[in-house]
Amino acid sequence: MSFSQSDFLKSFFEYLNENEVRYAVARNASTLPESIPGSDIDLLIHPADFRHHRSAISCLAVENGYRRWKCYRKNHSILQISFAPDHCNDPELVVRLDFLMGGIFWFGLPVLSAEQWMAGRVLKNDVWQIEGPLMIAATLANTWVYGGRVKERYVHELAEFPDTGKQETKNVLKNLFGDLATDRVDALSQGDLSYDCQAMRRKCIFSKPWKLLGVPLGLAGMVRTLLARLMHPPGVFVVLHGPDGCGKSAVSEGLKSSCADLFSDILHFHLFPKPAFLRKLDGRSHERWEDRQKSANEWELRQQTRGTLRSLVQIVYLTFRYWAGYLFCVYPALMKGKLILGERWNLDFLSDPASKGIFLPLGVRRFFYALCPHPEKLVLLTGDANAMAARKIELPSEEIARQINLNRSLFGKSRRTVFVDSTVEFEQTLSQVLCAIIGK
């Protein structure tokens, strides 16, 4: 099987053209079908054609060595499908397709219909695409109704249009927003990016009042999208765990760079995320932690035992913090399709309780561990204990080796656990972790 992104893209657009699928690439089509010029492909497609050919597109991906990796609704009219190559973990080979079905909508109001898009498409390099005045008009319309920021590169493109191109842009937008659009296009040509979002929305609504009939359907679509994301969040929750010195922070930084184009955003935290309403409490905890670190080194602190009552209060408090962080930070981020990178999470309840000041029987710690929410992927960083001890001189190699073996016995049987050697070359370690995220 081939793992060439170019072959997959060529087969994909060849299939669309041969089957006369009504589609058009909205923007960033300059290098298609050889490669993806941006991070994804915005593909306007007729809803009826998409329903008819959706399963065939997935089969086409399999024939080219790809598989469907992620699929979720960004809103009620945009469906994002990501295809990842089989047996390969290179993020640059992932193909993300945003299917815009039926045009641009705002709360069910049709801003720019599919028919208007299709009327202005042109065939270049065997790819139907939108370009020139219609592309700029569609981008501005979408930005104005959703309250986004006008990107300067589109302003530069508009400024380079001849007078006929600028007039075409004005005509499309005037049909949507009335005379207000003409004034804004003239202002953009002069470099003024500001606009009144509420005024643009009112003009869009009242230019054709019959559009209001689509609001109930739009609200129903929003509810459906919200429920779908609530039941099946499109994001990925990954926890990196291992003894001190295994390289959790370095791997996290590498993942943030490698996965930037695969997810809408990346949330990274150590131990647990910190909701805004608990920030003051976090400040006090950090001050106590700093005072504790000044009193002795890390290994000496772990030898200082606590009584049962203090340990119980500590584990109850940490369980509360894990749930608070999950409900107010992690799960909302998962619903938005983000990558959540956590270090340690609650696994120290079992593998290294002394680092959290917990001295309780294993059965009690297992109970509180089971009470907490668990990640989708657990990456256990292992390797040579002596190499890790060289990175973390506060802990003896014997203690690190003990934690490595304990992690294997405690978490090794779980299907969501992946073992990665973090004492080899960093690129090799990062590749293995990427495989855990993107792989099957």
Q: Which three-class secondary structure string do you get for 202-253?
A: HHHHHHCHHHHHHHHHHHHHHHHHHHHHHHCCCCEEEEEECCCCCCHHHHHH
> Are 255 and 220 contained in the same domain?
no
**Region 124-142 average pLDDT:** 84
Q: What is the predicted pLDDT for the residue at 440? A: 61
Tell me the whole-structure pTM to 2 decimals. Answer: 0.81
Measure the CA dihedral 363/368/371/373, to 10°.
Answer: -120
> Are 41 and 152 contained in the same domain?
yes
Domain residues for 300? Answer: 234-438
Cis peptide before 33 (omega within 30 of 0): yes
Q: What is the predicted pLDDT for the residue at 2? A: 46
> Are 149 and 292 contained in the same domain?
no
> Are 242 and 366 contained in the same domain?
yes
> Are 291 and 352 contained in the same domain?
yes
**Region 392-404 average pLDDT:** 81
CB 83 within 8 A of CB 68: yes
> Are 300 and 162 contained in the same domain?
no
CB 400 within 8 A of CB 387: no
> Are 290 and 403 contained in the same domain?
yes
Over the chain, what is the mean pLDDT? 83
CB 381 within 8 A of CB 241: yes
Long-range Cβ contacts of 362-367 (<8 Å, 24+ apart): 364/312, 364/315, 365/315
Residue after which a domain boundary falls, among 173, 196, 228: 228
266 membership: H or E segment, kind and range: strand 266-270
> Are 181 and 136 contained in the same domain?
yes
- Radius of gyration of the chain from its Cα atoms, rounded to whole angstroms: 26
> Are 79 and 195 contained in the same domain?
yes
Q: In whole angstroms, what is the distance from residue 345 CA to residue 356 CA? A: 12
CB 389 within 8 A of CB 217: no
CB 147 within 8 A of CB 107: no
Residue after which a domain boundary falls, among 175, 201, 228: 228
> Are 175 and 282 contained in the same domain?
no
Q: What is the predicted pLDDT for the residue at 194? A: 76
47 membership: H or E segment, kind and range: helix 47-63
Structural domain count of the chain: 2
> Are 163 and 250 contained in the same domain?
no
Which amino acid would we find at residue 252?
S
Confidence tier at 323 by pLDDT (50, 70, 90): very high
Q: What is the pLDDT of residues 51-62, one digit of tens each?
A: 899 899 989 998
Tokens of 424: 């080899």
Q: What is the pLDDT of residues 235-265, one digit of tens each?
A: 999 999 988 888 898 999 999 988 888 888 9
CB 38 within 8 A of CB 31: no
Does residue 398 sit in helix, strand or coil? helix
Residue after which a domain boundary falls, among 228, 254, 278: 228
Burial 54-76 (b: 16+ CB within 10 A, else e): eeebeebbeebbbeebbebbbeb
Q: What is the pLDDT of residues 152-179, one digit of tens each?
A: 777 788 888 888 888 888 888 887 777 7
> Are 181 and 243 contained in the same domain?
no
User: Which of the pair, 288 or 373, is modelled with greater confidence?
Assistant: 373
Q: What is the DSSP string of 104-146?
A: EEETTEEEEEHHHHHHT-EEETTEEE--HHHHHHHHHHHHHHH
CATH number at residue 397: 3.40.50.300
Q: Are strands 127-129 and 122-124 parallel, antiparallel or unpaired?
A: antiparallel
Q: In whole angstroms, what is the distance from residue 139 CA to residue 27 CA? A: 9
Q: What is the predicted pLDDT for the residue at 293? A: 46
HSE at residue 250, side-chain half, CA atoms within 13 A, is 15
Confidence tier at 297 by pLDDT (50, 70, 90): low
CB atoms within 10 A of CB 310: 13
